Amino acid sequence: MATNTLSTVIAHRAPQGAFSNEPFTGFHHPDMARAMREALRKVADQLGHEYDLVIGGQRLRTQEKIVSINPARPAQVVGVHQQAGVQHVELAMQAALAAFESWRQVPVQERVSLLLNAAEMIRERKFEFCAWLTYEVGKNWAEADADVGETIDFLEFYAREALRLAAATTPIQYPGERNELHYIPLGAGAVISPWNFPFAIMAGMTAAAIVCGNTVVLKPSTFAPTMAAKFLDVLEAAGMPPGVVNLCQGGAEFGSALVEHPQVRFISFTGSKKVGLEIHERAARTAPGQKWIKRTVLEMGGKDAIIVDSDCDLDAAVTGVVASAFGFNGQKCSACSRAIVDDRIYDVFLQKLQDKVERLQVGDPVENADMGPVVNDLAHNKVLQYIEIGKSEGRLLHGGQAIAAPDGGYYLAPTVFADVAPTARIAQEEIFGPVLAVIRSHSFEESLAIANNTEYGLTGAVYSASRDRLELARHSFHVGNLYFNRKCTGAMVGAHPFGGFNMSGTDSKAGGPEYLLLFTQAKSVAEKLG
């Protein structure tokens, strides 16, 4: 599609004012609760619909299907999706490459308008998207609202950042020359997104790539493909030309072939350490005809710790640990899976922790329980295996079992192990479920050493009233996102650029001022004057 045609497709919209985060919805208000229940009823009537692959704007169907289910009611089908195979990789890449030739020429203001149009459409249908998240991955209302709000934030923030990047200049003008600096797109890339934030992270990765002028083959998680299909519908309605984003729900074979395609310019991935490292390795191999070094943007998980110092506000610390450990059932790469507690307050902390965890309600997220199910039977079984390991590595303080449900949902009790050694498996390996290991420490320096003693480095928090100890942690707690006297989850776009160290990934800092640089290359132009 030619640029002049695009001008008539994408309604021009400029950012309104400085960026600010989308406000959270107060579901305690009767009108808000009523709106959410109505959205849940509306979406319930749409469950089970079949969705197509979308390649170059064309809808395709395959013989093999991916069936998305409600983890709270596994017999309930959320959506039926086509399963892209290796044979679809070339088709999708050629569509993305063809679209790139025109999309890269589109003025940045029009690409920005696409994101802003999409953000406004999502904002107008916020409760509907919240409901889809509740059904597809089991998020309660607040967790779903945060996911949708972050989606809007990414679109609004990256739109503004793209304009800022387009206005970049060289640090100086050399005498006798006109010096320019342009950030140009990389090309056609792959976005491989996760299931735990199937709207926000998927949309953020995709939007960052396309607003810079790249095109994308989007492979969402097979556990949450419906949210990606809904997002593509929004992009098309917002004016996106065919081929800019090509939606290919597919499994590991499709993903591997996509990563290895010689014309893939970049791979943006969020998921497990195992898969992330495999992608990094595959991308590093140069294929015949490949003219560039593929760029990988990887976010791969964490084993996050909250340090609880002896002089802290203990009630605030317990609240923060519980929220970080059991929000969305611990299925966040930022979740607190280790609480490192000073010996002087260890016993009282455990008592307060147990009291608070016992009050958590586990149940159907449609009814807005504190905790819902884990995402599927694979996750359910994996967490139960780690719970059995934990029973030999610590003292079971609470939980430790599956919870039977009349509809067969994948529910687990929030589980706490006390007296865990820093080197225990449940203190070192990412479980990705509602399991917390509590570790005793005899000094703040020891707490920091324990916190840093994993292969990850994503998030962490410290609860302390000591300025000296907070300053020590500021310099010595080796994580990409560090929080003081607050929980270690809930990074806000713009305020908390998100990404970690070590095996947590490439420290990509999503939602930060440098993120778009990962999808561009800098071109310096100098012209002699006179």
Amino acid at 126: K
What pLDDT does 9 receive? 54
What pLDDT does 7 receive? 43
| Signed CA dihedral, 76, 79, 82, 83: sign only | negative
Neighbour-count burial of 101, counting CB atoms closer than 10 A to its CB (0-12 exposed, 13-18 middle, 19+ buried): exposed
In a structure prediction context, what are the per-residue pLDDT tens digits for the chain, which is 530 residues long? Answer: 334 344 445 667 889 899 999 999 999 999 999 999 999 999 999 999 999 999 999 999 999 999 999 999 999 999 999 999 999 999 999 999 999 999 999 999 999 999 999 999 999 999 999 999 999 999 999 999 999 999 999 999 999 999 999 999 999 999 999 999 999 999 999 999 999 999 999 999 999 999 999 999 999 999 999 999 999 999 999 999 999 999 999 999 999 999 999 999 999 999 999 999 999 999 999 998 899 999 999 999 999 999 999 999 999 999 999 999 999 999 999 999 999 999 999 999 999 999 999 999 999 999 999 999 999 999 999 999 999 999 999 999 999 999 999 899 999 999 999 999 999 999 999 999 999 999 999 999 999 999 999 999 999 999 999 999 999 999 999 999 999 999 999 999 999 999 999 999 999 999 999 999 999 999 999 999 98
Amino acid at 33: A
Is 488 a residue of the active site? no
Tokens linked to 50: 């079949």
Neighbour-count burial of 176, counting CB atoms closer than 10 A to its CB (0-12 exposed, 13-18 middle, 19+ buried): exposed
What pLDDT does 221 receive? 98
What pLDDT does 289 receive? 85
Residue 160 neighbours by CB distance under 10 Å: 20
Of the residues 110, 150, 299, 430, which is catalytic? 299
Of the residues 333, 336, 430, 488, which is catalytic? 333
Give the integer Cα–Cα distance in Å for 406 and 423.
38
What pLDDT does 185 receive? 98
Let me know: does 377 contact 410? Beta carbons within 8 Å: yes
Domains of the chain (ranges, CATH numbers):
3-11+31-300+508-525 (3.40.605.10), 304-492 (3.40.309.10)
Pure H helices in 327-442 = 346-358, 377-393
What pLDDT does 405 receive? 92
What pLDDT does 14 receive? 85
Let me know: does 498 contact 481? Beta carbons within 8 Å: yes
Is 312 a residue of the active site? no
Let me know: does 311 contact 466? Beta carbons within 8 Å: yes
